[in-house]
Amino acid sequence: IDFEVEFTGKAYVVTKAAVRERGVATTAGGQLGGIAPVDDPAPPFQLIDQDGNPRSLEEWRGKVAFLDFIWTRCPGPCPILTGLHVDVQRKLPESLRERVRFVSISLDPVRDTPAVLREYAQKRGADLANWSFLTGEPDAVDAVIKSYGVGSAKAPDGQIEHVVATFLIDPNGQIARRYIGLEGHDPAELLRDIERLVT
């Protein structure tokens, strides 16, 4: 699919969309059946955040983690996804914010350095008080991408193909929900699901 987006000052909005081809097999290696399943333990990781600090999934045990995969040069789905999650973050009641951690893992660790991730986050209005944008050595990041089953492959034009997926991880480290595709990311539903796990 080809599409165009506009930035309204608060969010990215798709203004045009056209299907280029149907039934084309992806080279990304991410298929719906391969995505880490609900009720399984969330695969662990150790990466670095937008400030260069080491971060692991284990350190957020006891909190709800809201985990997605993005790359900063993405022309559409990733900034749209981040915008949707910024909306959820802003609407989260203040009393619950300390018990929720938003996590975005880069699919492009070579280009997405901590500084690049920080700039991406700030441009999109993410509150870094409870949101970590993670990167690391390519092998380490690739292992995390594979463990969550979202796939990642560079197309000839430099685009990174992957499954758009977000994982809601409960305080015990289990995957409670998966949200697949942009259409599966309704902010009101995401907020309800997060609040249900926190309270």
The pLDDT assigned to 27 comes to 35
pLDDT in tens, 20-30: 444 333 334 44
* 161 pLDDT above the threshold of 80: no
Write out pLDDT tens, residues 168-198.
999 999 999 999 887 778 888 999 999 999 8
Q: What pLDDT is recorded for position 26?
A: 38
In degrees and rounded to multiples of 5, residue 127 shows phi and psi of -85, 110
Give the confidence band of 126 by pLDDT, cuts at 50, 70, 90. very high
pTM for the full predicted model: 0.81
pLDDT tens readout for residues 20-64: 444 333 334 444 448 899 999 999 999 999 999 999 999 999 999
| Distance from C-alpha of 140 to C-alpha of 150, rounded to nearest angstrom | 15
Is the model's pLDDT at 83 over the cut of 80? yes
Cα gap 199→195, rounded to integer Å: 6
